[in-house]
Amino acid sequence: MNNFIYYSPTKVLFGSGTVEQVGDCVRSFGGTHALIVYGSERTVKSGLLMRVLMSLEKAGVGHTALGGVVPNPRISKVYEGIALGQQVNADFLLAIGGGSVIDTAKAIAYGMGEPDKDVWELYAHTRTAKAMLPVGSILTIAASGSETSNSSVLTKEDTGDKRSYNDDIARPRFAIMDPSLTLSLPDYQSMSGCADIMMHTMERYFVNGGNLALTDSLAEGLLRTVMAQARILHREPENLEARAEVMWAGSLAHNNLTGCGIAAGDFVCHGLEHELGGMFDVTHGAGLTAVWGSWARYVYRDCLHRFVRYAREVMRVEPGETDEETALRGIEAMENFYREIGMPTNLRELGVAPTEAQMREMAHRCAVAHGGKKGSAKVFYEEDMYKVYKLAL
């Protein structure tokens, strides 16, 4: 077991009708004028935005709305939000959406907190944040866990760089989580979200350097639960109980609960997917499943004890004659699950076919983004990253 700090200050309001409390929540955390950030017109057409506005007005909180956030959120929208927030003297960021919207709101809050600096410098890791405005969220997509995490991810359009920045000051003050708000999601988005939730846990599970038995049990239970509920949602998209299970799992998977006691997370698959997202604008969860199997087969011998445990405790496969055979059966079972819920298991199924030059470029960008190396199950350098892209074709 390794020393750890667990910090999860976000107030969670979970359940039906909790949206009506948003005005009081913003006011309780000092907000007097909220810059509301959202994505598609679904937020407007569903009546959700109006419910939010009515709650804010009832609490005496001013508001200005900024829509148009897209998946793989862009820095240009962040700059637009910073300018708008400054113009209306916003003192609170309220995100209505999933990870892309919440990440955009966090970045706007960073930019408004230090208006004399370029917010992209944080994502380029040339400085650290000293201040930001408070952020709250109303979750409409269970996936990224950004509603309780310290992380955010942005894409810089002119270079195609997709980069993350983690800082505990970015943890939202509150998260309103009503599972019914996810009912209108297309199946592909719901299943991509389930894949992302699982990967946040798996990136902390497939590691070397020590583990905590309780954390392992929590992670394995979370993974089994999400798999079971994803199968239900794939068949019964209106099953509200399954949506509630998945929504709560999304927060627990990325507030670092499943990382307590480990030496360090792996997150190579996330690094590889970020380059795919930056270059090809793919759905994040689907991009993760497209590279996971190739990554797993590339590293399992270096982290054999974890792959054997995963095969036994999560995938519940019949043990092989050797540990290697058991590990490979677990990997195969994981890929079969992805196929079962309609997720890709390689780049071809994802719908992209990078050239040799593009794979080399993505590998180089990934290595540079992480200081030359990344990983815990196996430490990856640029050539390793290239080889996994190649295997994933």
> What's 359's domain CATH number?
1.20.1090.10
Q: Is residue 290 part of a domain?
A: yes
Q: Is residue 160 part of a domain?
A: yes
Alpha helix (H) ranges present in 300-381?
304-313, 323-340, 347-350, 356-369
Same domain for 219 and 104: no
Measured distance CA(35)–CA(362) in Å, rounded: 35
In this predicted structure, what is the pLDDT of residue 330?
A: 98
The average pLDDT across 266-292 equals: 97
Where residue 55 sits, what CATH number does that domain have?
Answer: 3.40.50.1970
Same domain for 194 and 74: no
Same domain for 142 and 249: no
Alpha helix (H) ranges present in 29-114?
42-45, 48-58, 75-88, 99-113
In this predicted structure, what is the pLDDT of residue 141?
A: 96
Q: Which of 144, 162, 181 is at the close of a domain?
A: 181
Same domain for 225 and 177: no
Q: Is residue 131 part of a domain?
A: yes
Q: How confident is the model at residue 343 (pLDDT cuts 50, 70, 90)?
A: very high
Q: Is residue 170 part of a domain?
A: yes
Neighbours of 291 (CB within 10 A): 28
Mean pLDDT of the chain: 97
Asked if residue 247 lies in contact with residue 148, where contact means CB atoms within 8 angstroms, the answer is: no
Same domain for 196 and 157: no
Q: What is the biggest distance separating any 2 CA atoms in the chain, rounded to whole angstroms?
A: 67
Q: Which pTM was predicted?
A: 0.95
Q: Which burial class, exposed, middle or buried, applies to 164 when counting CB atoms under 10 A from its CB (0-12, 13-18, 19+)?
A: middle
Q: Which of 122, 154, 181 is at the close of a domain?
A: 181
Q: Is residue 3 part of a domain?
A: no
Distance of CA 352 to the CA centre of its chain: 21
Note the pLDDT tens digit of each residue in 148-184: 999 999 999 999 999 999 999 999 999 999 999 999 9
User: What's phi and psi for 303, nearest 5 deg?
Assistant: -140, 45
Note the pLDDT tens digit of each residue in 97-155: 999 999 999 999 999 999 999 999 999 999 999 999 999 999 999 999 999 999 999 99
Residue 308 is encoded by which pair of tokens?
A: 């054997």
Asked if residue 362 lies in contact with residue 354, where contact means CB atoms within 8 angstroms, the answer is: yes
Angle at CA of residue 351, ends 366 and 193, nearest 5°: 70
Q: Is residue 4 part of a domain?
A: no
> Is pLDDT of 207 > 80?
yes
Alpha helix (H) ranges present in 206-283?
213-235, 240-254, 268-280
Asked if residue 205 lies in contact with residue 306, where contact means CB atoms within 8 angstroms, the answer is: yes
Q: Which of 134, 151, 181 is at the close of a domain?
A: 181
Q: How confident is the model at residue 1 (pLDDT cuts 50, 70, 90)?
A: confident
Q: Is residue 1 part of a domain?
A: no
Same domain for 116 and 231: no
Same domain for 267 and 239: yes
Q: How confident is the model at residue 40 (pLDDT cuts 50, 70, 90)?
A: confident
Note the pLDDT tens digit of each residue in 52-71: 999 999 999 999 999 999 99
Same domain for 191 and 173: no
Domain containing residue 165 = 11-181
Q: Name the nearest CA neighbour of 155 among 273, 291, 292, 295.
A: 273
Q: Is 388 helix (H, G, I), strand (E, B) or coil?
A: helix
In this predicted structure, what is the pLDDT of residue 263?
A: 87
Q: Is residue 5 part of a domain?
A: no
Same domain for 365 and 290: yes
The average pLDDT across 19-40 equals: 97
Same domain for 108 and 242: no
Same domain for 168 and 281: no
Same domain for 191 and 150: no
Which residue's structure tokens are 């679904």?
Answer: 42
> Is pLDDT of 232 > 80?
yes
Radius of gyration of the chain from its Cα atoms, rounded to whole angstroms: 20
Q: How many domains does the chain have?
A: 2
Q: Which burial class, exposed, middle or buried, applies to 205 when counting CB atoms under 10 A from its CB (0-12, 13-18, 19+)?
A: buried
Residue 108 is encoded by which pair of tokens?
A: 């706007």
Q: pLDDT above 70 covers what percent of the chain? A: 100
